C-alpha cells in the first residue's frame, strides 16, 4: 500500500477492500447491514436461491418506514403484512430486530446510532438513501438498492467504485439561530443537487467541529441531496463522548483501544481531495426552500427569485416549473409565504436536540396552524416526555405521536393534503413527497416552530431572544 498521505475516505476504503477488478470495481467487506420493512424483496431473492445470510450477527432490522405513528394496534392490512414479514424474516435468519414493541424501535438512522452500533471506521449499508447519516461518526455509510441488499445478505460484501473525494470546510462560527440544517441547505444551494455527484464528502472546519453529534447527523444526512455518495466527519472527542457507554459500543479497555484506532482515521495533513469547498460559517443565516429541490433554498430574509434573472437556462426553467407548482410569484418575500401546517420529524431532524430547539420557540405560545411532531425513536420520545417537551408541543396545539418515517414520505395517513403548504424538518421537497399536490418548505426545527406560531415562513431569531434553545 502506498505511503502517500490519505483521506479518511481512502483509509476506510483501503481497510475494507478485498479485491479490485480490472474495471475498477472493488469488493468491500460490509461491517453493518441495516434492514427495514422494505427488505422483503431481498429476503425473497435469498429464499429463491436457497441461500443463507453470511453474517446475521452483523445485520440489524428496524421497523420504521411504514409503521403508523398513531394507534399501532390498528395497522392497515397491507402494512401489517410488511411488518409481520420483517419479524418472520429476521427470526428465521437470527437477526436482531428493533420491532414495533421494542423500546429501541425508531427511525433506523436515529435509533441505530443511539445504540452504539454506528462506530468510526465501519462500512455501513441500508436500503435507504439517507444511510449517509451514519457518516457523522466517521463511518463509510451509504444507501443501496434491493439487489445489492440481497448481495450483502448472502456475502457480507458489495462491489463498489471508489468515489472521488470532496472536502467541505466550514470555518468561522455560526451566528445565533443558525444550525446544521442551515449549513447543509446553504451548501446544497451553492453546489446544486448534482454538485457532489460521484464524490464522498468529508465535512471539516471549526464550525463542523463545534457541532454536536445530533448536528453532525443532520449534516451528513443531507449529503445525498447534493448528489454525494455519502458524507462523513472525522471522529473526535465529541464522537467518543457520545459513544461511551452505549449498549453496542466497546466497553472498558476495549473502548480505549478503539478510541486510539479511531483517532488515526483523520485525514492526513497533506492528503489530496479532488475538490475542496470553503464556506464562511459566519455568513450562514436560517434557510428555507422555496422550490421543489433542496438546492432551491435561500436565507429567510431573501425573496423568491425571478427566473428571468437566472443566467443558466436549465436552472431558470427549473425555477419557473417550481414556482408554478409551489404557487409562488417572483420577488415576493419568503417571510410573506403563508403555510397550512407543520411537521417536525424524520431521520434529518427528530432527535432530542431538535425537539428541544423547537420547544424553545413554542413554549408559552400557540400554533395558528395544525402540526405533527414525531420523535425519531421510542427512546427519544421517552426522554422528551421526561423533560416535559411533549406538554409544550401539546399546549401549543400540535399533535404528539410515535416514531416512524411518517409525513416525510407521506405514510399511514400522515399526509399534507393537495395544494396545502407545509413547513417541514424533512430532507426532500420533491413534488408529491408529502402527499399528492403537497407543497413542502424545508427548514430547521426552530424555524418550523416559528412558522407554526405565525402561520407563515418566519425568521425564528427574534422569537428566540431571551430563550435557551
Which pLDDT does position 79 carry in this prediction?
Answer: 83
**Helix axis angle, 77-93 to 40-48, nearest 10°:** 50
Which pLDDT does position 68 carry in this prediction?
Answer: 87
Round the average pLDDT of the chain to a whole number and report it. Answer: 96
Start-end ranges of CATH 3.30.499.10 in the chain?
8-276, 307-464
What is the CATH number that goes with domain 307-464? 3.30.499.10
- From 351, 418, 406, select the one nearest 379 (Cα to Cα): 351
* Cell numbers standing for residue 220: 451528513
In this structure, the number of other CB atoms found within 10 A of the CB of residue 392 comes to: 24
pLDDT band at 275 (very low <50, low <70, confident <90, very high): very high
C-alpha to C-alpha distance for 188 and 195, rounded to whole angstroms: 8
Mean pLDDT, residues 359-388: 98
Helix (H) or strand (E) holding 62: strand 59-62
pLDDT band at 3 (very low <50, low <70, confident <90, very high): confident
Widest CA span of the chain, in angstroms?
64
Which pLDDT does position 52 carry in this prediction?
Answer: 94
Which pLDDT does position 80 carry in this prediction?
Answer: 87
Q: Which CATH architecture has domain 8-276?
A: 2-Layer Sandwich (3.30)
C-alpha to C-alpha distance for 199 and 442, rounded to whole angstroms: 24
Mean pLDDT, residues 177-193: 97
**What DSSP designation does 247 have?**
T
pLDDT band at 410 (very low <50, low <70, confident <90, very high): confident
pLDDT band at 469 (very low <50, low <70, confident <90, very high): low
C-alpha to C-alpha distance for 265 and 11, rounded to whole angstroms: 7
Reduce the DSSP state of residue 422 to 3 states and report it: strand
The predicted model scores a pTM of: 0.96
Least confident of 82-86, 181-185, 423-427: 82-86
Amino acid at each position: 500500500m502506498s505511503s502517500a498521505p490519505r483521506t479518511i475516505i481512502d483509509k476506510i476504503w483501503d481497510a475494507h477492500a478485498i479485491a479490485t477488478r480490472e474495471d475498477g470495481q472493488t469488493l468491500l467487506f460490509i461491517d453493518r447491514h441495516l434492514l427495514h420493512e422494505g427488505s422483503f424483496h431481498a429476503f425473497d431473492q435469498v429464499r429463491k436461491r436457497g441461500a443463507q445470510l453470511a453474517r446475521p450477527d452483523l445485520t440489524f432490522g428496524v421497523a420504521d418506514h411504514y409503521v403508523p405513528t398513531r394507534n399501532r394496534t390498528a395497522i392497515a392490512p397491507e402494512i401489517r403484512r410488511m411488518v409481520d414479514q420483517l419479524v418472520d424474516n429476521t427470526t428465521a435468519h437470527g437477526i436482531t430486530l428493533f420491532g414495533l414493541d421494542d423500546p429501541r424501535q425508531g427511525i433506523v438512522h436515529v435509533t441505530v446510532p443511539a445504540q452504539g452500533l454506528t462506530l468510526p471506521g465501519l462500512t455501513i449499508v441500508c436500503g435507504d438513501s439517507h444511510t449517509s447519516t451514519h457518516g457523522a461518526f466517521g463511518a463509510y455509510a451509504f444507501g443501496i438498492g434491493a439487489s445489492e441488499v440481497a448481495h450483502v445478505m448472502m456475502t457480507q460484501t458489495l462491489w463498489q467504485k471508489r468515489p472521488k473525494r470532496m472536502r467541505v470546510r466550514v470555518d468561522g462560527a455560526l451566528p445565533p439561530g443558525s444550525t446544521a440544517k442551515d449549513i447543509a441547505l446553504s451548501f446544497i444551494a451553492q453546489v446544486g443537487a448534482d454538485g457532489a455527484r460521484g464524490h464522498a464528502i468529508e465535512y471539516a472546519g471549526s464550525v463542523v467541529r463545534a457541532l454536536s453529534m445530533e448536528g453532525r447527523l443532520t449534516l451528513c444526512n443531507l449529503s445525498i441531496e447534493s448528489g454525494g455518495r455519502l458524507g462523513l466527519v472525522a471522529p473526535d472527542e465529541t464522537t467518543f463522548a457520545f459513544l461511551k457507554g452505549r449498549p453496542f459500543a466497546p466497553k472498558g479497555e476495549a473502548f480505549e483501544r478503539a478510541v486510539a484506532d479511531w483517532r488515526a482515521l483523520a485525514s492526513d495533513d497533506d492528503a489530496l481531495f479532488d475538490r475542496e469547498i470553503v464556506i464562511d460559517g459566519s455568513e450562514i443565516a436560517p434557510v428555507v426552500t422555496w422550490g421543489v429541490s433542496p438546492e432551491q433554498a435561500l436565507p429567510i430574509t431573501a425573496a423568491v427569485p425571478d427566473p428571468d434573472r437566472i443566467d443558466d437556462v436549465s436552472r431558470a426553467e427549473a425555477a419557473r416549473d417550481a414556482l408554478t407548482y409551489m404557487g409562488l410569484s417572483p420577488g415576493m418575500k419568503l417571510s410573506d409565504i403563508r403555510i397550512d401546517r407543520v411537521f417536525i420529524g424524520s431521520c434529518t431532524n427528530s432527535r432530542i436536540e431538535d425537539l428541544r430547539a423547537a420547544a424553545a420557540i413554542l413554549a408559552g405560545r400557540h400554533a395558528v396552524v395544525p402540526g405533527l411532531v414525531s420523535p425519531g425513536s421510542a427512546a427519544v420520545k421517552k426522554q422528551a416526555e421526561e423533560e416535559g417537551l411533549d406538554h409544550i408541543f401539546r399546549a401549543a396545539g400540535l399533535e404528539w405521536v410515535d416514531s416512524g418515517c411518517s409525513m416525510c414520505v407521506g405514510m399511514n395517513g400522515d399526509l399534507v393534503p393537495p395544494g396545502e403548504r407545509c413547513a417541514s424538518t424533512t430532507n426532500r421537497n420533491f413534488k408529491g413527497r408529502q402527499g399528492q399536490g403537497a407543497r413542502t418548505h424545508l427548514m430547521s426545527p426552530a424555524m418550523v416552530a416559528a412558522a407554526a406560531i405565525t402561520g407563515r415562513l418566519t425568521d425564528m431569531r427574534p422569537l428566540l431572544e431571551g430563550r435557551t434553545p
